[in-house]
Amino acid sequence: MARRDGGTIVFLGPSLPAAEARARLPDAELAPPVAVLDVARLLRRRRPARLAIIDGYFERMAAVWHKELLLALELGVEVWGAASMGALRAAELDGHGMRGVGAIYQAYRRGRLTSDAEVAVAHLPAEGGYLAVSVPLVNVRAQVARARAARMLDAATARATIAAAAAVPYWDRTWDAVDAALPAPTRARFAAWRAAHPFDQKAADARALLDALAATPPTAPRATPVPRTWAFTQLLALAARRR
C-alpha cells in the first residue's frame, strides 16, 4: 500500500524558476514537468496531500492523462493547476474537483482560449534549468493587451501582432519573429515599451498558484470513483511495472 506522507508536490518547468518557487512555497517538493504515467506511478508509492501542476510535456512524450488526476482525487489527494498544462487540465477537470488558479485557467474555462498551442513553449532540458527559448502565445496576448490598454498599440496593430505570433510555430516564436511582421516604426516602439514593461502571464499565474497553496490548508477533495475502463486499467498496469 502506498504510504500517506502529506506534503505538496509541484510539477514545474519553464514557467517559473525553481529558486523562486522554493522561496514562495519552501515546504513543497519540486518535480519535473509532468508526463503520462508520472502521477499514476507516484500514487503507487506515496500519497501526498496535494499535487500542483504548472508545467507538463505534451509532444516529446504523451501528456498526463486526465484519469491519472481523477485517480489522485479519488484517493484523497488535492490536485491544483495553473499557467500551462496545469491550466489546461484544471479547466477540463474543475467540475470533478481539480482546482484552477490564474488568468490562463480562467480564459480556458470560459472558452476565450481553446487551443493547447496557446501555452506551448520550447525550453531547455533539466540541465539548463528548463529555460524557455520561445514565447508562448498567451504571453504575446497578455503583452499586447497591456500595450493596447496603455495606448501604445492601436486595435488594428494589436490584432496584426497576435495574428503574426499565432502564425509562427511555437518552437520558433520569439519576439524578434513577431516584431518582423510589424512596420519598422511600430516594431521599434513596441520593443522599447516591452523592455520597460516586462510581463509574463505564465509566471504570474504560477506565482498565484504557489501563493494560493501557501495560504490554503490542505483539505480532502470529494471522492469520485474513476471508471476502470480498459484503457485506464492498461495505464495502471504500465504504472505498476518496474522501470
For the stretch 181-227, pLDDT in tens is 888 888 899 999 999 999 999 999 999 999 999 999 988 887 788 99
| CATH code assigned to 3-115+202-225 | 3.40.50
Cβ distance 139 to 201 under 8 Å?
A: yes
Contacts 24+ apart (CB under 8 A), 105-109: 105/81, 105/205, 107/138
The band of 128, judged by pLDDT with boundaries at 50, 70 and 90, is: very high
Q: Where are the domains of the chain?
A: 3-115+202-225, 118-199
pTM, entire model: 0.94
Residue 93, all three cell numbers: 477537470
Rounded Cα distance, 178 and 197, in Å: 17
The band of 3, judged by pLDDT with boundaries at 50, 70 and 90, is: low
Rounded Cα distance, 120 and 168, in Å: 12
